[in-house]
Amino acid sequence: MTPLELVGLKALMELSPGRLEVTIGLIDGPVYTSHPDLAGRNIREVPGKQAGTCSRASSVACTHGTFVAGILMAKPGSAAPGICPGCTLLVRPIFSENGGRGGDPMPSATPQELAEAIVEAVNAGARVLNLSASLLQPSAKGERALEAALDFAAYRGVVSVAAAGNQGTVGSSAITRHFGVIPVAACDLEGHPVSETNLGGSLGRRGLSAPGEGVTSLGTEGKPQTLGGTSAAAPFVTGAVALLWSEFPQASAAQIRQAVIQAGGRPRRTIVPPLLNAWAAYRALANNSGGN
């Protein structure tokens, strides 16, 4: 079974490539926009302190941002899932390309940097945010800024999707416990949590699991790359949200969020979230709207 089939996305992708007016805010590294499998996609930048287009294709920040962008936006027929190629991608980088190369720790950002990026992406028109950041310098002040930014996104009708993290711990963070966020754990192709994924009460109550093992997407140096973890899992949920909003443009953020979360099925009494079921979410929205 492929990752797309596991989470009910293949059938949903056959209905629509997504709509241009549905903008996904990618808060990550810069993207290698000259990649041929991103050619012709509608990709915009909110540069911030970092450029939205890679200057060093080999940097960890570039490879990470491009990998996630490929899951979301790669053209049909590429090695990457390309869940919503007809949508708009808004790149707001927070990871510097001055970090290490492949094998070094993933790039990180401070809570204040992430908060600023969230507000800028929302103001630039993002309707769904994809967040996967390891946070540096945690502090009460930083957490308050981050919570305020997530509040702002929620009150503006934006759905935020966040990687749960890869420390293999049980607990929550200022991101995963926020009411407006759908936190995402990583699972294997049988739907079981991978060993490194974070879990916890907030994930069990209103999070989802998505493929985070052996996921293949775009590389930056001439060939695809295969990675895992919650950063690979989160864009499957983000892409599902974008496709659902493309199919049901009049739906509110609360309706989209509820359909995606409740389509997971089983009661929320564990620290392990249910598997994303994008097709069940589609059917729920279709039934509620009286269409399809």
How many domains are contained in the chain? 1
Please name every residue paired with 170 in a beta bridge, in sequence order, or none if there are none: 199
**Which ranges of 94-229 does DSSP label H, i.e. alpha helix?**
111-123, 140-155, 201-206
Q: Reduce the DSSP state of residue 101 to 3 states and report it.
A: strand
Pairwise CA distance, residues 98 & 32, whole Å: 15
Give the count of beta carbons closer than 10 Å to the beta carbon of residue 157: 13
pLDDT at 136: 72
Q: Residue 103's pLDDT band (boundaries 50, 70, 90)?
A: very low
* pLDDT tens digits along 39-88: 899 999 987 777 778 888 888 889 999 999 999 999 999 999 999 999 99
Residue 102, strand partner residues: 104
Cα–Cα dist 68/132, whole Å: 10
Residue 210 near residue 81, CB atoms below 8 Å = no
Contact, 118 vs 161, CB < 8 A? no
So what's the pLDDT on residue 1? 84
State how far the Cα of 143 lies from the Cα of 251, in Å rounded to an integer. 30
Highest mean predicted confidence (pLDDT) among 45-59, 150-164, 254-268: 150-164
Per-residue pLDDT, 108? 76
Using CA atoms, how far apart are residues 253 and 284, in angstroms rounded to an integer? 14
How far is Cα 131 from Cα 120, in angstroms, rounded to an integer? 14
More confident residue, 291 or 270: 270
Q: What is the rounded CA–CA span in Å between residue 56 and residue 63? A: 9
Nearest in space to 215 (alpha carbons), one of 67, 86, 74: 67
Is residue 117 within 8 Å of residue 72, measured between CB atoms?
no
Taking the CA atoms of the chain, what radius of gyration do you get in angstroms? 17
How much is the average pLDDT of 228-237? 96
Task: Return the CATH number at 263.
Answer: 3.40.50.200
In which region does residue 45 sit, left (phi positive, over 0), alpha (psi from -120 to 50) or beta (all else)?
beta
Amino acid at 54: C
Q: Which helix (H) or strand (E) holds 4?
A: helix 3-6
Which residues are registered as beta bridge partners of 199? 170
With beta carbons less than 8 A apart as the criterion, state whether 71 and 236 touch. Answer: yes
For residues 104-119, give the mean pLDDT: 80
What domain range is 74 assigned to?
3-289
Question: What single letter denotes the amino acid at residue 105?
Answer: P
Residue appearing with tokens 């490879």: 63
For 162-215, the pLDDT digits (tens) are 999 899 999 888 899 999 999 999 999 999 999 999 999 989 989 999 999 999
Looking only at the bridges linking them, the beta strands covering 215-217 and 225-227 are antiparallel
| pLDDT band at residue 100 under the 50/70/90 scheme | very low
